[in-house]
Structure formats: C-alpha cells, structure tokens
Amino acid sequence: MPKVEEVQGSGPAELIHRLCTAVETVIREQGSDLPQPAVKALIENLVHARFQSPTVSVLDRARTVRVADRGPGISDKQLALLPGYSTAGEPERMVIAGVGSGLAVAARQAEVGGGRLEISDNLGGGTVVTLAMNGSVTRNPQILGEPLLAAAHKRLERRAAKPSELSDNGKRVLLLLAELGGTGLTTICDELRITPDAAHSELDSLRRLGLLDPADQRQVVLTSAGLNYLDGIFVE
C-alpha cells in the first residue's frame, strides 16, 4: 500500500527542511542513489509556487521523485533549465540558497546519473517536475564539461573533505556555482553579499580541498569533486 505522510512547517524554510528530511529517509530506506542535491532543488522550487497545494511523490523504489504544485506554472520550460536563470525575487532568496535556479542543478545531476528531469504542466494549473534515474548515480565529470584534475583527485584520495570542514559561506559558494555553472568573483560577492576579501578566502579554501578548478583563471568553476561534495550538505 502507498504510504502517505502529511508534512507541515511553521514557515517556508522549515517546511522545505522537513520535506527534504522525509524524502531523504525514504530514499535511504529503499537503498536508492537518487542525487540528494537534485531532490532538494526540486523541493526548494516549490517556493516559486508559494507552496500552493504541493505534493511530493517517491516512486519506483525511490528511483523517481515527482514534485507537483498549483502555482503559476512555468511558461518557458527550456529556459528554466539554463544555469543562472531564475525568477526568484528577494523574498524567495531569503528562503533558499543560491540564486533560485535549482532546476538547472537538478537537471545536471540527473544527466550525470544517466537519468532525466522533466517539467510538465499540472492538470488545472501549476507544474509537475519529475526526476527519474535509471539506476545508481555515477557522476562523469566530462558530461558536465568539467576538467579532470589529476592533482585535485590525488589530494582528495589522501584527505576527503567533510561538510564540517567548510564554513557556511563556503557551502553557499558551492551551491551558487552548481546553479550558475561557473561565475566570477563579482557575482559571488553580489549574490552572497560578502566582501571580496571574504570571497577570496573561501575560494582559496575550496581550491585547497580540490573542490574548485585551479586552472581556470577567467571564472570560478566546480570540479567533479566539488559537485560530488554537494551530497554531503543536502540536509542541515
């Protein structure tokens, strides 16, 4: 029999956290390898619908997650999947991390795992976003267009980064880069509202851990290890 659970929260942030925790529990119990940052991005996307009649379904032995709402809908679905594109205003950005283009993050994660992300119109209005994986998630950095950095991988083999090793700003930088697909220092400072000195400090720490590409001098880009690291900061 299908299991139905009603999840409530005192506000948007708490509701997102509780939904993520509930879905993560089901995924873990089923032994699925659904990419957790992608699932979180789908749930956070409900903020654009102002949480109007949200429904989160975990299907196919936790290999598929479907998030439906009765919000205003998404008129240009291809545009919604472009890195950096967002319709989030100031109220939404106070609730979610990054710039509000989490569907692009989810689409990248799905592609890396050999799965797919689909956006469709909900019957009677709103949006349905479906994340479906064909099997276990195996990340291939070449699919993402990221360089393979042998030195970074060797460092990570000796000393794997843990979520506790990064500051809150460091984690926010990773989430922002996952959404934008790479950006410059000015954008990082503007979006995260931190000083250039603080941004440089965070970027240096991330590069030492092999989470950023040290070879790209034009923009800040995640390595494959940086993308993998996001799994560790799914629910906090």
Between 138 and 45, where is the model more confident?
45
The percentage of residues in the chain with a pLDDT greater than 90, rounded to a whole number, is 10
Residue ranges of E strands in 146-215: none
Give the residue from 5, 36, 45, 9 showing the smallest Cα distance to 22: 5
pLDDT of residue 119: 92
CATH of domain 12-132: 3.30.565.10
The residue behind tokens 């400090």 is: 201
pLDDT number for residue 152: 33
- Quick one: which H or E segment has residue 55? strand 55-59
The four Cα atoms 101, 164, 20, 59 give a dihedral, to 10 degrees, of: 90
Mean pLDDT of 140-155: 33
Rounded to the nearest 5°, which phi and psi values hold at 65?
-125, 130
Banded pLDDT at 44 (limits 50, 70, 90):
confident
Q: What is the mean pLDDT of the chain?
A: 75
CATH number of the domain at 150-233, out of 3.10.20.600, 1.10.10.10, 3.30.750.200, 3.40.462.10?
Answer: 1.10.10.10
CA–CA distance, 46 with 174 (Å, rounded to integer): 21
CA distance 67 to 65: 7
pLDDT of residue 101: 62
**Chain-centre distance for alpha carbon 62:** 18
Q: In whole angstroms, what is the distance from residue 69 CA to residue 96 CA?
A: 17
Residue 145: which pLDDT band, with cuts at 50, 70 and 90?
very low
Q: Would you state the pLDDT for residue 96?
A: 61
Residue 66 predicted with pLDDT over 90? yes
Q: Answer yes or no: is pLDDT of 208 > 60.
A: yes
pLDDT of residue 235: 39
Would you call 16 helix, strand, or coil by DSSP? helix
Question: Mean pLDDT across the stretch 133-148?
Answer: 40
pTM above 0.95, yes or no: no
Domain(s) labelled CATH 1.10.10.10 in the chain stretch across: 150-233
pLDDT digits (tens, 9 = 90+) for 10-41: 888 888 888 888 888 888 888 887 888 888 88
Whole-number pLDDT of residue 146:
33
Q: Where, residue-wise, is CATH 3.30.565.10 in the chain?
A: 12-132
CA–CA separation, 121 vs 141, rounded Å? Answer: 31
